[in-house]
Chain A
């Protein structure tokens, strides 16, 4: 089945530093990947849609200069949280869509727990 991985699974950083999170589709090509943020006891909130070879589309209220997204290949999208602050601490989850399967299904990664001190 379609597998999506994320790296790292956990990261702790100091306030003001930048953190990069990778999302990979392991056994399929994903022209579109999505990035979500989930705070404790809350739902998944879509941050941005990442399209291979083009600029990401950000949801309202998400700062594109703070959350840099790069989707340089059909199997890899990265999210960089720049100048992270404690309020950026959250669970970041990516998903990837496998168009070739004929089913418009998104496969989710295992998530990355970011803690900013």
Chain B
């Protein structure tokens, strides 16, 4: 079945640093999504990408939909303490038999540098 490889698995951030994470897949997706999940809560949508090559920003967050439709990256600029959490990429399937299902990456856990 479809799988998304998300990296890095974890990273430490210092306030003010830029952060980058990415997802790759062996399958083509029609939509790429980036979510943030805080402990004990459901994921919250950060950015949705609908077109290959699309570059979209949401405040300090920027994400791109790869040209091949098989990858996406998320950048966070000038990180702040509240950026800590787990970030998930997700690819959405839109085929008739897929019903809009989401396939999630393994997650990137952002923690504050000790």
Interface residues of A (CB under 8 A from B): 4, 6, 32, 34, 42-46, 49, 57, 60, 91, 93, 95, 97, 103-111, 113
Contacts and interface: CB of A to CB of B under 8 A. Distances in A.
Given A34-B102, A109-B42, A43 B107 contact: yes
A111 B99 CA distance: 22
Contacts of B43: 44, 93, 108
Given A32-B99, A46-B101, A106-B100, A111 B41 contact: yes
B56 interface: no
B42 A106 contact: no
8 contacts: A4-B42, A43-B104, A46-B103, A49-B101, A57-B99, A97-B100, A104-B94, A107-B45
Contacts of B99: 32, 49, 57
A111 B40 contact: yes
Contacts of B41: 110-111
Q: DSSP majority for the B interface?
A: loop
B102 A106 contact: yes
Interface of A is mostly: strand
A33 B96 CA distance: 16
Interface string B26-68: 0000010001000011111100100000000000000000000
Given A32-B99, A104-B31, A104-B92, A44 B104 contact: yes
Given A32-B100, A44-B88, A46-B102, A108 B48 contact: no
A110 B42 contact: yes
B45 A105 contact: yes
B44 A42 contact: no
A46 B2 CA distance: 12
